[in-house]
Amino acid sequence: MSDQSVAPPVAGHGAATLTSVTIDAYNAEARDKDGFLGDRASKRAFWNILDEWRERLRELGEEDPLGEAPTDEITKRRLEKMMQDERPEAAALVHGVIEEFAQELAGVVRRFLRLKGWKDTQRIVAGGGMSGSRIGHLAIGRASLLLKAEGLGVEILPITHEPDEAALIGAAHLAPSWIFAGHDSLLAVDIGGTNIRVGLVELNLKKKKDLSQAKVAGLEVWCHAEDKPSREEAVERMARMLEAMVKQAKMEKRALAPFIGIGCPGIIEEDGSIARGGQNLPGNWESSRFNLPRELMERMPEIGGHATAILMHNDAVLQGLSEIPNMQDVKRWGVLTIGTGLGNARFTNRG
């Protein structure tokens, strides 16, 4: 390692105060008699609702517009095509599922708004895999209308960035601005219950200092849920993905910052360990003997001859951070990520 290989001080992992926002709450685990509230508005919940509707049709002896295909093999694109179907009941089936899911989403938001950390929330962005489809947009829009009709003073909007890219762009907001001096790009990791995404993020600070023009210039997505790796295999694969992005940055003659921002499910402790919430990840990520930032630091101690600085926060927090430039007209806002679970975070703008 070079003489500069002692990492400079940065904010702690899972920090509550960042340059632009205070994180009032995240990873809320509100429950009702049936379990975690978030489970009622997750990606899995949507497909469960569809499956229940199909079962009702079968019990009534009615034709299932989706035929014999198992529900878990049906894509959102196929459902979107059905919405244009000339058969009224085929289109109505999809609209019915969207409506029921929107009702559940609105119900979850109502409960969140009662939590101390979510009081007086003015706007919520919805991210995660559902947010990138027409189906998701309709469900989010319908839930927003339901809440507005009740006079709750909150609206829900789909997240601006592509689902695969939002948390990667949000990672740039974890870093203090001095890290960007002389650099135009950084590395980011978004770890989910189904996929791990590694990206090369172009900052475009010369265009906009507020990171509103930041974009993903390189992306690799690995569906670890299909491969079922061990924890150690997942870390090794992640490191290789990051190394590939370093090579891309070098080929493109980018000035890559010695920084990696990571989004990971769960409650992130100041030392980079995961207190709870990592149950959908491969292996035991909540072990006191496991520390992902430390593991990656050992594999990538330097970037461009400088000591690597790594910051990790909750994955929903990172998705929310990507919206900071679009939230300057409100004070208190939040994010819900509709994925394997329902990630969540609430922010207050600083200054």
How confident is the model at residue 32, as a pLDDT?
67
Q: Is the pLDDT of residue 5 over 60?
A: no
| Structure confidence by residue, pLDDT tens digits, 179-191 | 888 899 999 999 9
Task: Indicate the average pLDDT of the chain.
Answer: 91
Using one digit for the tens of pLDDT, what is the confidence trace for 106-163?
A: 999 999 999 999 999 999 999 998 888 999 999 999 999 999 999 999 999 999 999 9
pLDDT digits (tens, 9 = 90+) for 212-268: 999 999 999 999 999 999 999 999 999 999 999 999 999 999 999 999 999 999 999
Question: Which pLDDT value is given to residue 8?
Answer: 43
- Supply the pLDDT for residue 34: 65
pLDDT confidence of residue 35: 63
Gyration radius from the chain CA atoms: 21
Segment 6-47, tens digit of pLDDT:
444 466 899 999 989 999 999 987 666 666 667 888 889 999
d(CA 230, CA 48): 28
Using an 8 Å Cβ cutoff, are 320 and 125 in contact?
yes
DSSP state of 329: T
From CA 215, how far away is CA 199, in angstroms rounded?
A: 10
CA-to-CA distance for 40 and 100, rounded, in angstroms?
11
| The predicted structure's pLDDT at residue 290 | 93
Residues of the chain with pLDDT > 90: what percent?
A: 79
Detail the DSSP E strand segments found in the chain.
21-26, 31-32, 35-36, 123-127, 155-158, 185-191, 196-202, 215-222, 256-264, 267-268, 274-276, 302-303, 306-307, 309-314, 332-338, 342-349
> Given pLDDT bands bounded at 50, 70 and 90, which one contains residue 171?
very high
Query: Domain segments of the chain: what residues?
Result: 31-114+129-158, 163-321
Q: What is the pTM of this model?
A: 0.91
**Token digits of residue 331:** 């004070």
Class of domain 163-321: alpha beta
